[in-house]
Amino acid sequence: MMDRSFKNGDRVQLTDSKGKLYSLTLNPGSEWHTHKGVLKHDDLIGLPEGSIVATSGELKFQAFRPLLADYVLSMPRGATIVYPKDAAMIIGIADIKPGIRVLEAGVGSGALSISILRAVGESGHLHSVEIREDFAKISQENVQNYFGNLPKNWVLTVGALQEQKLDNDYDRVVLDMLSPWECVETAAQALVPGGVLISYVATTTQLSKIAEAIKENGNFTEPESSETIVRGWHHEGLAVRPQHRIIGHTGFLIFTRRVASGVPVLQRRRRPSKGSYGVIE
């Protein structure tokens, strides 16, 4: 059986009795100071996950290795991260799986890059493009800290996506940027027939612009859009009710697939709402 006890260099998540989370990286001889005493790293090394540890002032914590969502929400940020609920939807809707090739533009702090790298596995490949060098540096550090090293199947390029010399054998293109409609043609050239283009945008204006750009491009199926809202529940005996706080709107996802070159897009038989495209003179 694999030894799952805490070791030197492990990232550890500590949860107190109020559910508040703390994280630290174990280093022999080091100490973590709280308002109620000191916790020695050596007291954690060698313990199994789920153990309870206490500071010198008897402040108790339950110790686990952090899950992906925990790591993402606590890691250093440059740009706003793609939240775990949206990253999970992107992986699921775009069918990102082991062995495929993914092109990602707009890396931000690297949260989505980590999810994609986990999904494609060692047999897959991720090429990430980030226009800002400072964001690229932060994302590289976050990815390296999560995996313990830089994955060999990950390429990070600084620059605009439209300026890159890309292969045309990507299975998925993921866009997370301010103006994704500017990259629809680049995505069409990079994707194989049947490949998926999925974009994450924050506003309805962005959603409208990329939807129209996809339709006008002529190489993609009718785009589909959604948003994900998560509501937790409180349960204490028979008192079961929705929590007052929900994780509401963070962004929209728009999804489409690359059709074969030279093949017309099958038009949806749907009458647009009155006024959808402005006033007709």
Closest CA to 107 of 99, 97, 116, 120: 116
Check if the beta carbon of residue 26 is closer than 8 Å to that of residue 41. yes
- Residue ranges of alpha helices (H) inside 75-197 are 84-93, 111-120, 133-147, 184-190
> Residue 240 gets which letter from DSSP?
E
Q: Which residues are annotated as a binding site?
A: 109-112, 130, 176
Annotated binding site for S-adenosyl-L-methionine: 109-112, 130, 176
What is the CA angle 179-182-187, rounded to 5? 115
At which residue do the structure tokens 């030894």 appear?
3
Identify whether the C-beta of residue 138 lies closer than 8 Å to the C-beta of residue 110: yes
Angle (CA) 160 68 150, round 5° = 50
Token pair of 15 as six digits: 């949860």
| Diameter of the chain measured on Cα atoms | 78
| Residue in 124, 127, 114 with CA at minimum distance from that of residue 69 | 114
For residue 176, how many other CB atoms are within 10 A of its CB? 26
Closest CA to 113 of 105, 74, 122, 167: 105
Asked whether the beta carbons of 225 and 211 are under 8 A apart, the reply is yes
* Beta strands 11-15; 60-64: pairing state: antiparallel
Element at 181 (helix H, strand E):
none
